[in-house]
Amino acid sequence: MKAYSAYLIDLDGTMYRGNQVIEEAPGFIQWLNEQGIPFLFLTNNSSLTPQRVAHKLGLMGITCGPEHVYTTSMAAAHYISSTLSSHRVYAIGEAGLIEALQQEGCELAEEQPEVVVVGIDREITYEKMAKASLAIQGGAHFLSTNSDRAIPTERGLVPGNGALTAAISVACGKEPQYIGKPESLFVHLALEKLGVNAENVLLVGDNLQTDIAAGVQAQVDTLLVYTGITRPEDLELQAIKPTYAVDHLKEWTLRF
């Protein structure tokens, strides 16, 4: 067993399922806090602000603050401000994306943007997609917060940000650069925010194809928990393998 100096932690399927807390989640975060181990929650959800995510977790008995939350909106905004020389941004998205861009000093531009970034937008219109497509054809950088094609809801699977992004991509004939899991970029940006090296971090998640794949690509050790999407039998069929796998998070803490 290896003692890790920091943790990157998925939310849905790892901390909660929808609005229901996973039983072992609060104790796991309490253990991290007691050990003084820094952590970040990583979420592909671009619509929420860190404050709203932390509030939801707090209501579930999970002790954390906004500083423990890192969304794909935050990662996209930081990538734009730190890597791209162009800061005029046309954004399709909700409050989480808009706030993140503003906090990074990006200029929100309806006309002649130098960057187009797409996040989940449940009020998307034809005109928004048209503006994005035209700007990208005119040379704007094309970013998307994540490639999730569908989102599970009480009604069933509904279109996710990947579906919105795909429509714009087909229209303009160009592929975006994705930020969120399973892309390694999201993990690298999270490591930068934490100020830690990859070899000292453990990424925890329930989804082999997104959480664990992101960790593997970023060369970060991974812990798969069977409280969400991936089941033990799924491992036999996939090339991607986690460093460790447990039934639940309490099983992990009991090893130390």
Query: Which residues are catalytic, by number?
Result: 10, 12
Give the total residue count for the chain: 256
CA distance 21 to 167: 34
CA distance 60 to 120: 25
Q: Is 36 left (phi over 0), alpha (psi -120 to 50) or beta?
A: left
The burial class, CB within 10 Å (0-12 / 13-18 / 19+), for 253 is middle
CA distance 63 to 44: 21
Which residues, other chains included, contact 165 with Cβ-Cβ below 8 Å and sequence gap of 6+? 118, 144, 147, 176, 178
Q: Name the H helices within 84-183.
A: 95-103, 126-137, 161-172
